[in-house]
Structure 1
Amino acid sequence: MSRPSASIRTAVVWDVLRGALDRRAKLADRAQLDVLDTGGGTGNFAVPVARLGHRVTVVDPSPNALFALERRAAEAGVADRVRGVQGDVRGLFDVAERGGYDAVLCHGVLEYVDDPAEGLRNAVAALRTDGGGVLSVLAAGLGGAVLGRALAGHFTEARLALTAEGGRWGESDPMPRRFTPEQLAGLVGGTGLEVVATHGVRVFADLVPGALVDAEPDALDALARLEAAAAELPAFHAVASQLHVLAEVPAG
């Protein structure tokens, strides 16, 4: 099964998500799950999830992204299992069913919403209430931004990101908000879900010069293996460019 595009940056998340979906399918005794992808854009995750046989609803505010999603799903032969609707996580239940999904993806959303806690509550409310429903959250990490600015020689910006509320390094910073591992896990845990795992994503991939990866034929695979090994180690979560939290509806 192919991984989502830009696999060196998404491989860790994809492997964790695929395993969680497999477990949910076994628990629910259904081969086909209903998956909601909030902010799913052009289908980087939605289309591979549909290739696994699941039905995916993508909610995104961009008509252009949804058009690209439709084209990508058709090219992948999964157009019958992917549905795109225009909307956002704040007004989620204007376009999506409350309590209607086995899994909800909330990737690259919390950085941009006015109230991340409200966004997460909506995502959780979309899950079926029987035990085992899966929430996958991917968000920008504070430590990775600080480290990246410092290694680029922008020391003042690195200090600003480290100390400013929201982790922004200045007015021109395109990212509205970043999270520490503790902040993100706390937000997810505050919804009442059980946090199953936290992973650091893009610990090294954003820092290694492309010329070094291109110089050796096996370098890309070696970098991917390094990312996978570091992802589960808490010591590296604090310097990851992104943080991934997997949570489930408690049993009982």
Structure 2
Amino acid sequence: MARQLDEQIAGRFRVGRRLRVLDVGMGQGTQALRLARAGHEVTGLEQDARMIAAARDALAAEPEGIRQRVRLIEGDGRDTGVHFLPGSFDVVLCHGVLMYVEEPDPLVAGLARMLASGGLLSLLVRNADALAMRPGLNGDWAGALAAFDSTAYRNRLGLDVRADRLDALTATLAGIGAPLHAWYGVRVFTDTAPDGTPPPPDTAALLDAEERAGRTDPYRGVAALLHLCGVRG
């Protein structure tokens, strides 16, 4: 996903430009810190106090120059209008958040309002059109059959959450003035790996294969996650 995001940033903004980045639901700050190391000004928004604490610990270990480029805020992604003015950011990330939101459209619309003209909105969502893949590949035939007609699923944390369909999100992005510019699949081949599985010796080849599949039909359509990139008109 990081490779996909870097590709979109490089294709939209001039090399060396310091971008204003908002990472909504930043978790432990993996992408926020990565983009700060690349020279961008990053604001991370997260409502989970444990994740905020982990992000602060990770940030504290960075050089001072990087620490100065990162601002961490504890808050809900649905309240971006409370924290920021419209058009305040060049890039807005919302990765792994929409599955926890019952009605995602207002959240996505609020994120788009944070973008300056020509800004990039990056969404990572569970792929509702491929919900049957994981149970099917694991031999759970009843679960696979039930998943064909549903957008609801239970994640690996044991939480009941929801997935999004590509066509529905495409319509949403068009309706809020940030139409879909590109989309990728994420975790095409590796979704059934158990949590905690150590990286294989040929990790580079694995990432190359996942990256190729994530941009190639028909493979990307059955990925566990979808990475959608919209551009503010």
Normalising by structure 1, report the TM-score.
Answer: 0.82
- Counterpart CA distance in 2 for 1:63 and 1:86 is 7
Q: Distance in 2 between matches of 1:20 and 1:212?
A: 29
Q: Deviations over 1:22-47 (max 9, x none)?
A: 34441xx8721110011011111100
Give the conservation status (yes or no) of the 8 Å contact 2:138–2:192. no
In the other structure, the counterpart of 2:60 is 74
Say whether 1:237 aligns with 2:225: no
The one of 103, 122, 128 equivalent to 1:115 is 103
Q: In the alignment, which of 88, 104, 118 is matched to residue 100 of structure 1?
A: 88
How many angstroms apart in 2 are the aligned matches of 1:221 and 1:76?
25
Paired position in structure 2 for 1:6: none
1:159 aligns with 2:142: no
Kept in 2, the 8 Å contact 1:111–1:139? The answer is yes
SS in 2 for 1:90: helix
User: Aligned-pair distance for 1:63?
Assistant: 1.6
What is the deviation of 1:143?
4.2
Residue 202 of structure 1 is matched in structure 2 by: 187
Instruction: Measure, in 2, the Cα distance between the counterparts of 1:211 and 1:89.
Output: 31
* Sequence identity (%): 30
- Please give the residue correspondences for 1:52-67 in structure 2 after superposition, counting only pairs within 5 Å: 52-67=38-53
Distance, in Å, in 2 between the alignment partners of 1:82 and 1:153 is 45
Answer yes or no: is 1:84 the counterpart of 2:72. yes
The answer to whether the 8 A contact 1:160-1:168 is kept is no
- Residues 93 and 149 of structure 1: is their aligned pair in 2 closer, same or farther, counting only changes over 3 Å? same
Indicate conservation of the 8 Å contact 2:102/2:162, yes or no: no
Q: Which amino acid in structure 2 is aligned with residue 90 of structure 1?
A: R
Which of 164, 174, 193 is 1:179 aligned to? 164
Measured in 1, the distance between the counterparts of 2:160 and 2:229 equals 22
- Partners of 1:85 and 1:95 within 8 A in 2: no
**Cα pair distance change 1:149/1:226, threshold 3 Å:** same
**1:15 and 2:3 aligned:** yes
Pair 1:34-2:7 in alignment: no
Name the one with the larger strand percent.
2
Structure 1 contact 140–241 (Cα < 8 Å) conserved: yes
Deviations along 1:45-90, whole A, 9 cap, x unmatched? 1000101111111111112211211121221322111111111122
Q: How does the TM-score come out when normalised to structure 2?
A: 0.88
Q: Conserved in 2, the CA contact under 8 Å of 1:197 and 1:245?
A: yes
**SS of 2:131's equivalent?**
helix
Bigger mean CA deviation after superposition, 178-187 or 83-92: 178-187
User: Alpha carbon RMSD of aligned pairs, Å?
Assistant: 2.4
Q: Distance in 1 between matches of 2:214 and 2:32?
A: 22
**Residues in 1 aligned to 2:193 and 2:181: alpha-carbon distance in whole angstroms:** 30
Distance 1:109 1:177, change over 3 A: same
What displacement does 1:155 show?
1.2
Structure 1, gaps ≥5 residues long: 1-12
174-183 vs 58-67, which moves further: 174-183
